[in-house]
Structure 1
């Protein structure tokens, strides 16, 4: 470590509350079909709608937008059991998150969808994978979900990825050079979840070093995360880069 290197600061890993308002959702080709379905409420083609997309793609954000408009409750799929079905649909609108995760009760989910139809309770389900990849063993549930309308959020294009990265920095009250944004867009996966991970790591690293976020620092963090570009030495060079 060089003698004139600045002392490291303690970086407190404080959670950053995500902003799930309608005005905070950025629309692009990757998610416009899903956004349009949410915006079409209450004129849905069916009481049950399925929203799919990879982790961090914005499913929960869209679900939150709809839940606010429809005054819906939100429950994890694992929270739907034979004992909770009636209570879940009693509010009149429901979001069931992450039906692709372990711990789901398929029989209870099928019962919930039937009760929801009886009570005219709209249900929005989210999944990290397509219905055909869920490995459902209850044939009636598999058939019901296949017939339900829905939309898939796909990988973002460069424009949406860039806009999301900028927003992530703004949400953290960080001002960065456009060269930092360009470096990230060029090198990271086409994933909003990855963008969130990288921005979080950059914020933490810059705070611990007591330095602003520069392109060399961004390249160093990308290298540490196993992504293309940069070396660790880049991250402590002159900020003038």
Structure 2
């Protein structure tokens, strides 16, 4: 039997929507969402937002940055220009601070500048500062003083909602029953949801077909015997 022709697929970048209406509230993110929403009435000028890869940190941080008119700086790209820009901004978002590496001295300058200038600072990371491998005690002690809120891993219901959103971001129409099949069979993380959606998007494009339950089952290796593509 000759396999059907596969179309050439181009791996175009897909930007997730960080619009307020696209944030999906759930028990796993309620505490963090409420903490972000309380700005500018924070108990401290600085807040740490901690959660696993793909837990929604970037979305919440983007909502806050828009509201606070904050400058956004990835921690692994800190330099003198970023220090100057942050010192002049009323609000600063430092993303993925656990990846700061050799830039921890620069991070310390930015954090100190935010405190001295009475600016607001939101810092995102996958773990609390004690797990970043920081070598400078002053940096660690300063970060330990900041309030910390956590994002938990999503439950099945939130995973379904996230899958639907990710498919929608890619302009893919996928039946709810397909999403309900995928959600309990993948790791409970938004990173895993992104991976399966990207894989199914590529496969659907290459086959010139829509995403089906059978196609999803092939990737998850859980296709029931004799199941036909619907």
Q: Scaled by the length of structure 1, what TM-score is found? A: 0.89
Q: Is the 8 A contact 1:53 1:129 kept in 2?
A: yes
Deviation at 1:130, TM superposition (A): 2.0
Query: Equivalences for 1:197-212 in 2 at 5 Å?
Result: 197-212=195-210
Distance in 1, matches of 2:20 and 2:184, equals 28
Q: Distance in 2 between matches of 1:102 and 1:222?
A: 35
Deviations 1:114-166 (A, max 9, x none): 11111111111111122221121111211121120121111111111111111
Matched residue, 1:226? none
Selected match of 1:92 from 57, 76, 90: 90
1:82 Cα deviation (Å)?
A: 5.2
Residues 74 and 96 of structure 2 are in contact (CA less than 8 Å); yes or no, is this contact kept in structure 1?
yes
Counterpart-to-counterpart distance in 1, 2:8 and 2:212? 19
Give yes or no for the alignment of 1:75 onto 2:58: no
Is residue 230 of structure 1 aligned with residue 223 of structure 2?
yes
Q: Which residue of structure 1 aligns with residue 30 of structure 2?
A: 32
Q: What RMSD over aligned residues (CA atoms) do the two structures have, in Å?
A: 1.9
Is the CA contact (8 Å cut-off) linking 2:73 and 2:82 kept in structure 1?
no
Aligned-partner Cα distance in 2 for 1:199–1:115: 41
Identify if the C-alpha distance between structure 1 residues 172 and 102 changes in structure 2 by more than 3 Å, giving closer, same or farther.
same
Deviations 1:11-34 (A, max 9, x none): 111111111111111110111111
The 10-residue stretch of structure 1 (196-205 or 94-103) with the greater mean CA deviation from structure 2: 94-103
Q: Give yes or no for contact 2:16–2:166 (8 Å, CA) kept in 1.
A: no
Measured after TM superposition, the shift of residue 98 of structure 1 is 0.8
Name which of 165, 178, 185 aligns with 1:180. Answer: 178
**Is the 1:77–1:104 contact (alpha carbons within 8 Å) kept by the matching residues of 2?**
no
Unmatched runs of 5 consecutive residues or more in structure 1: 224-228
Distance in 2, Cα, partners of 1:104 & 1:55: 21
Corresponding residue number in structure 1 for 2:229: 239
- 2:219 pairs, out of 209, 218, 221, with 221
Equivalent residue, structure 1, for 2:117: 119
Match of 1:163 in 2: 161
- Does 194-203 or 136-145 show the bigger shift? 136-145
Compute the displacement of 1:214 (Å): 1.1
Shift of 1:104: 4.2
Gaps of 5+ in 2: none
Q: TM-score, normalised by structure 2?
A: 0.93
